[in-house]
């Protein structure tokens, strides 16, 4: 999972916040796409659309 050292919130591998921590919401998942078995594009690349 993920740990935020700023305020101590914990998140699972899908970015969902655990109960009883300061974070009010789940982590945002950015736009992404798998280009191949070993390449992942993260972000919005308008040139590829």
Q: Look at residue 33 and give its three-state secondary structure.
A: strand
Alpha helices in 1-49 (DSSP H): none
Which positions are catalytic? 7
N-terminal to C-terminal alpha carbon distance within the chain: 31
């Amino acid at each position: 999972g993920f740990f935020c050292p700023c305020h101590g919130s914990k998140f699972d591998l899908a970015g969902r916040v655990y109960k009883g921590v300061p974070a009010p919401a789940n982590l945002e998942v950015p736009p992404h796409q798998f280009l191949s078995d070993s390449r992942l594009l993260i972000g919005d690349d308008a040139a590829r659309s």
